[in-house]
Amino acid sequence: MSATNRLSARPGEWIDRSKPVRFSFEGRDYTGFSGDTISSALHANRVRLLGRSFKYHRPRGIFSFANHDINAMVEDGADTNIRGDVTPIREGAHYHAVNTFGGLRSDWGRYLDWFGRFLPVGFYYKTFHRPRAMFPFFEKRIRAMAGLGAINAKAPRLRTPKSYDFCDVLVIGSGAAGLTAGITAARHGARVVVVDENRRPGGSLTYRPEHAPTLAKLLAEAKSLPTIDIRPLTVAAGCYADHWVALVNDERLVKMRAKSVVIASGCFELPA
């Protein structure tokens, strides 16, 4: 489908069709809407090739829109390894796929696939070790061929300080179960923090439009309770002793200490 031939508007959709956003990918100009992710905007513009596999440089398209897509990784000159499936497009941004040689469409690294039968899994751990003096030479080139994005050392540094916080109940996941648990605890006077890695709360309730009224009701009730705090784009990166949980977002690390932790993060089936 093209940018002018999308699915019809649906209640609760995440894009604002009245606000076009212009950007480029691999040197070509495209237009999406406010709320589009990089992957969704490119898909709407009939772009199916979004990246290359990191070892053989095989063509890769969309695999996920749930922050689990390793295929759609881009860079914009300042940041690298940007997840295209969940990162919103920015006006005037110039995106490029990571780890290509000569561009995404003409990536000459794709010829490595011809030699795949001679390059078994883990071959680089078993070869090029003799003579030892040559290993650093081969190591750098293998890393360049089989890596992901390259860091721009000249880009401005983003300082990400750490802070400390406390709550009575920490809920990891803002789907139906997580919101319900948080609301129930807040009704009884507990200070509740709900975190979710995604930009919008709702989890599986956002998958189908008929669930929109249920989600709206839960969010309205959560908003009416002064002791509940919903934090999107926040990852629970680790859970340690005594309910010490590391919460990470783009701006800082929060060391959260909670009396109780509810894990309602759902699950994703992994393909064989």
Q: How would DSSP label each residue in 174-233?
A: -SHHHHHHHHHHHHTT--EEEE-SSSSS-GGGGSSGGGHHHHHHHHHHHHH-TTEEEE-S
Q: What is the pLDDT of residue 114?
A: 84
**CATH code matching the domain that covers 162-263, chosen among 3.50.50.60, 2.30.30.30, 3.30.465.10, 3.40.50.1360:** 3.50.50.60
The CATH-assigned architecture of domain 16-145 is Roll (3.10)
* Whole-number Cα distances in Å, 242 to 130, 144, 162: 49, 42, 19
Q: Which helix (H) or strand (E) holds 41?
A: helix 38-44
Identify the pLDDT of residue 5: 67
Answer whether 255's CB lies under 8 Å from 165's CB: yes
Identity of the amino acid at 125: Y
| pLDDT, tens digit only, all 272 positions of the chain | 444 668 888 877 889 999 999 999 999 999 999 999 999 999 999 999 999 988 888 999 998 888 888 889 999 988 899 999 999 999 999 999 998 988 999 998 888 788 777 777 777 777 777 788 888 888 887 777 776 788 888 888 878 899 999 999 999 999 999 999 999 999 999 999 999 999 999 999 988 888 989 999 999 999 999 999 999 999 999 999 999 999 999 889 999 999 999 999 988 776 65
> What are the structural domain ranges in the chain?
16-145, 162-263
* DSSP bridge partners of 74: 82, 97
CB 14 within 8 A of CB 89: no
C-alpha distance from residue 106 to each of 29, 103, 109, 114, 252 (Å): 18, 6, 9, 15, 38
Domains 16-145 and 162-263 share a fold: no
